Amino acid sequence: MYRNNLAYNTYAQNNASVESPYKLIEMLYEGILRFNAQAKKAISEGDIERRTYWINRSGAIFSELIRILDYTQGDVAHYLDGLYSHQLKLLMQVSIHNDTAKLDEVNRVVKTLLEAWRDETHVAEPL
């Protein structure tokens, strides 16, 4: 589904605790959730600059996830492309309208993806 690529190699060089591309994807999903929590806090505090910063960080992760999709693996990559693109659109709406309900929607999707990813990698990743 994801290519073993430059993003992983660069990240792995900078973070010795990353053992595999599977772990990197998990960390990216977790990062989105952390950044969205910070964005939600900034919205509640009326801090536009911080809201924008954290939403942009989440958006950058979705953009990277789209970039590293491996379309040779079948329909799931195309599905994820659409799903990630939709999340980017929702993040734009959050940024424009301070819509925390849309941020909650993104978080629900990411939590579901993270849970599914963890379930899948327990099967796919060697011990």
Domains of the chain: 6-122 (1.20.120.340)
Residues 6+ apart with CB under 8 A from 18: 8, 11, 12, 24, 27
pLDDT in tens, 53-88: 999 999 999 999 999 999 998 899 999 999 999 999
The CA distance from 16 to 94, in Å, is 34
What pTM was estimated for this model as a whole? Answer: 0.82
Rounded Cα distance between 43 and 16, Å, is: 34
CA-based R_g, the chain, Å? 15
Q: Do the Cβ atoms of 70 and 1 come closer than 8 Å?
A: yes
Predicted pLDDT of residue 15 = 57
| Of 57, 68, 56, 59, the residue nearest 7 (C-alpha) | 68
